[in-house]
Amino acid sequence: MTLLGLLLVLSATSPARAQGFVDVNGLAALNERPPAKPRLFDVAFATAAIDPKDPVLPSSSAIEQPEARARILLPASYDDGQEDAYPVLFLLHGGTGSYVDWTADGDADVLAAGLELIVVMPEGGGKGWYTDWFVREADDTPRYETFHIHQLVRWIDVNFRTYGTREGRAIAGLSMGGFGALSYAARHPDLFVAAASFSGGLDMTYSPQQLIVWASGIGAAANANAIFGPYNNEPSWAHNAQQLNYRAHNPVDLVANLGPVDLTYYSGTDDDAHIHAVNQRFHAAVEAAGFDPERSLCTGGACTVVQPGTGPRYVEETLADHSFTWWNPWLADWLPHLMAVFAAPPPAPTAFEYTSADDEFGAFGYEVTMTRAVAELATLVVDGPGGFTLDGSGAAEVTTAPLYVPSAPYRLSIEDGQGAATEYTVLADASGRLTTPLVVLGPDNPYQQYQGASSTFYTASVSITPL
């Protein structure tokens, strides 16, 4: 065989190394996978979500923004000539840290060395807080959620052999990244089958947590309100207070959204900063949401189950401080559990609850478009193919998941938020989805939620039966 022929055969039968990556959703890789480091390598990106937006003409923004990067760890078997797909873990760093921390200061590459798992460690900004910032500075506002959720998740699926589904995707993080992991999972439960927090700041309504967020905004050369906005519900702040924005990203407020997600959270009890207090608040919210959590109390890694349960796992360590001394063993403890979840993932739910403050939101195939005068939380509760309820104000149009016979007629019985009932006949579309007529909830509220004046909410119900 000629040398040219041999090269053609090898290129056709072997997974490509150092090839150009495919751009996805406005995310463009600036380098290739290096052949000399086949398992652990870094990728730099150009994206409009965070600086530098253009590698030639970077932004002039004064806000501290790192380069968009990710460190990627491939399993040892990735290049063995097979075409197997792999699950993916997105592993988030903490405050004042960066995308290199989990391997530079932690042992993530060692702990995952024997696992059939792709680990993605993205840059989240040392003061980024895993959100699209509230501050408005032309196109220079950092948008970390856009980078991670709307760009990087899909980019990884396109450029590597992944399952490409919720059942093969998880997220975890430490400290600020613990908040990010559970906030992302709560806002996007249809993307992640499992989530874990290691010393995560899980309650944005807790005053010490707000002070840290404000300090992050100041430290990034912005201002104290740059990240989530001002937090205040006094009437004098009525036009700019954004307590709603905090709560719309807050794991405690969105805890019911996490029902379909396999959930684990760890914290120290004594020397773990203020973290134990916010994790206790989150645990109370888990219980109040009707979950059946298991709580373990540990000393030096020796654990006793003090609260048996079948739901989320809460692990408290009496000796833990806020450091990799504990985050590494917690990751080591969680990884076998995660791999067991990947081996037998729970199916996507047919019944679920989802709360959002967005005007357009959706989960598990359902899409809701709200029509209302002010911003506020709304809650969709799906009971299965038989119908759903929607809580909020104003009106909404709802499109269901593809659960029905394509082109078949269905009776929609809609009871609005004030008790008036109407029946409609609606045809399912070609994919088996139904779109409701406008569902009236009730009169608009005059003020954004949490701006000092109380809000009134109404619940409309929709029942669905075949004709």
Q: What is the pLDDT of residues 85-131, one digit of tens each?
A: 999 999 999 999 999 999 999 999 999 999 999 999 999 999 999 99
* pLDDT at res. 128: 96
* pLDDT at res. 37: 62
Sign of CA dihedral 446, 450, 452, 457: positive
* pLDDT at res. 240: 56
Place of tokens 């600036």: 30
For residue 270, the Cα-to-chain-centroid distance in whole angstroms is 28
* pLDDT at res. 234: 46
Given a contact cutoff of 8 angstroms between Cβ atoms, the answer to whether 241 and 447 are in contact is: no
d(CA 429, CA 445): 34
Given a contact cutoff of 8 angstroms between Cβ atoms, the answer to whether 151 and 175 are in contact is: no
Sign of CA dihedral 431, 379, 260, 326: positive
Is the full-model pTM beyond 0.75? Answer: yes
d(CA 295, CA 280): 11
Tell me the pLDDT tens digit for each residue of 360-374: 999 999 999 999 999
d(CA 103, CA 110): 8
| DSSP class of 307 | E
**Residue (of 238, 212, 246, 31) closest to 133 by Cα position:** 246
DSSP assignment of 4-18: HHHHHHHHHHS--SS
Given a contact cutoff of 8 angstroms between Cβ atoms, the answer to whether 70 and 89 are in contact is: no
Segments of the chain with pLDDT less than 50: 1-18, 234-239
What does the angle CA 227 – CA 231 – CA 234 come to, to the nearest 5 degrees? 155
* pLDDT at res. 380: 98
d(CA 194, CA 313): 12
d(CA 300, CA 317): 7
